Amino acid sequence: MLLCTTNQSNLTRLKTLLKALFFLTPLFFWGNEFSSLTGSARGDAEAKFFISSENKNIDLPSIKLNGFSQRSEKAADGIFVEITIKADSLRIEKEWRLDKTISKKLKTLDPVRADALIRLLSKARYIDEAAIAIFQFVRENWEYVEKNDSDLTIEQILNLKEASCLSLCRICKFYFDIAGIKSTIAIGIKFPADEETFKLKGGALHSWLKINIDKDNEIFCDPLSFFGFVTQRYIYLCNEEDFRKNKLQNFREATVKLISSKDRIFYNPESEIKPLFWKRTPYESSVYGLVVGKVLKEKEIPAKGSVIVKGFGNDLKTDLFQGNFYFFVREEGRYSIFIIFEDGHKEKLGDLVFSGSAVKKVVYYVKEKTSQ
């Protein structure tokens, strides 16, 4: 099954130029500016879950902030949770500048890394650029691992080369505090993309950040992936202070079940550079010839595997990331799209006609793969 939408644009001159540059091409890696670090995320998503537990003390807040809404309702044997995501236009107008006070604090509190971070931050002109520079710096200096390191101090974490999601957020907040960026660490559940039921055991919780952009806007960010939003599979439980008070013990051995999901957030690299982060932006742009798409199963669970694009010449193969893919085409025409599942099974998704558009968005549905 195929669903597609097209953004029309008169790009004849640009299209002619780009036809001479590439045919079917994957994304390349170059550039160090903030524009090359981020691609745009646009669309809506929602999910409904039921959290069941023998513990009658479990509770979940209903919250709403820019781009994220969570509504919870208690039942006799658990809690219904509904998440709504709006990855729409987000304009960041709050200016930010690296000054002598920030530089001095960095050199005092983290003398080993201060110079490298100062070089990155010196390029930032707005608060989102400063935050993304810190995300980039943290990802380059600490390896993400799944482990319980919540008892470590920030000084101990800074001296390590690897960190959990909680520790990565604590490092980001450490730098944010120095840079004057207000933030809070969020603790919650990142529901697995390829499952329908999830058991909460040790280490099953996830951490991300809530950043205060200005007095009217707070946004969720995940320093591993997202700025200005998280997906519909993020369930907010509490902030880090409540986590420290061990209020989450009530959720041990609870079961989270996915009831329904709808995912229409599309990921546009906006250039030929593979982005490190996905960001809500004021507007969506791209070079000519971009196709962004999804491959989904029942309940809109992302499919796993690779997508093959067959067209006028060489085939293009690109791996799915949580059911998403993107590629550039050289010229208008018909392209055949296939999926190769993880077990090697190949299936045709459909034919795509690319004509007169800058960006084309498609959604394919597949059934559970079967062995042949």
Residue 340 has pLDDT above 50, yes or no: yes
Confidence (pLDDT) at 119? 96
Which pLDDT tens digit goes with each residue over 177-232?
A: 999 999 999 999 999 988 999 988 765 789 999 999 887 789 999 999 999 999 99
Confidence (pLDDT) at 246? 63
End residue of a domain, out of 245, 261, 277: 261
Question: Which pTM does this prediction carry?
Answer: 0.87
Residue 26 has pLDDT above 70, yes or no: no
Q: Is residue 371 part of a domain?
A: no
d(CA 7, CA 357): 6
Decide which of 188 and 54 is more confident: 188
* Neighbouring C-alpha atoms within 13 Å toward the C-beta of 84: 10
Domain count, the chain: 2
End residue of a domain, out of 261, 287, 312: 261
Residue 264's nearest CA partner among 310, 288, 235, 231 is 231
CA–CA distances in Å: residue 195 to residues 26, 254, 256, 261, 263: 29, 15, 10, 12, 15
Strand 183-190 relative to strand 333-340, pairing:
unpaired
| DSSP-derived 3-state class of residue 208 | strand
Residue 6 has pLDDT above 90, yes or no: no
Average pLDDT in the chain: 86
Out of 91-95, 176-180, 270-274, least confident range:
270-274
Same domain, 254 and 278: no
Out of 123-127, 243-247, 272-276, 293-297, least confident range:
243-247
Q: Is residue 372 part of a domain?
A: no
Residue 266 has pLDDT above 90, yes or no: yes
Confidence (pLDDT) at 88? 95
Confidence (pLDDT) at 148? 85
Confidence (pLDDT) at 202? 61
Q: Is residue 21 part of a domain?
A: yes
Confidence (pLDDT) at 34? 62
Same domain, 159 and 182: yes
Same domain, 329 and 349: yes
Amino acid at 37: L
Q: For residue 19, what pLDDT band results from cuts at 50, 70 and 90?
A: very low
Same domain, 279 and 355: yes
Q: Which domain CATH number covers 132?
A: 3.10.620
Confidence (pLDDT) at 268? 95
Confidence (pLDDT) at 263? 96
Three-class secondary structure assignment of 284-320: CCCCCCEEEEEEECHHHCECCCEEEEECCCCCEEEEC
Out of 2-6, 103-107, 160-164, 165-169, least confident range:
2-6
Q: Is residue 13 part of a domain?
A: yes
Same domain, 130 and 236: yes
Confidence (pLDDT) at 283? 84
Q: Is residue 370 part of a domain?
A: no
Q: For residue 35, what pLDDT band results from cuts at 50, 70 and 90?
A: low
Q: Which domain CATH number covers 303?
A: 2.60.40.10
Decide which of 130 and 10 is more confident: 130
Q: For residue 3, what pLDDT band results from cuts at 50, 70 and 90?
A: very low
Same domain, 221 and 290: no
Residue 371 has pLDDT above 60, yes or no: no
Decide which of 109 and 37 is more confident: 109
Confidence (pLDDT) at 203? 58
Same domain, 257 and 148: yes
Same domain, 312 and 287: yes
What mean pLDDT do residues 112-132 have? 96
Q: Is residue 299 part of a domain?
A: yes
Same domain, 244 and 304: no
Q: With contact defined as beta carbons under 8 Å apart, do 11 and 361 qualify?
A: no
Domain that holds residue 276: 2-27+269-365
Confidence (pLDDT) at 328? 87
Most confident of 166-170, 202-206, 212-216, 356-360: 166-170
> Hey, what are 70's tokens?
């969570």
Same domain, 61 and 13: no
Residue 17 has pLDDT above 70, yes or no: no
End residue of a domain, out of 224, 240, 261: 261
Same domain, 77 and 205: yes
Strand 357-365 relative to strand 290-296, pairing:
parallel
Same domain, 255 and 275: no
Q: Is residue 119 part of a domain?
A: no
Residue 20 has pLDDT above 60, yes or no: no
Confidence (pLDDT) at 287? 73
Q: Is residue 169 part of a domain?
A: yes
Which pLDDT tens digit goes with each residue over 285-337?
A: 877 788 999 999 999 999 999 999 998 677 889 999 999 999 988 788 889 99
Amino acid at 247: K
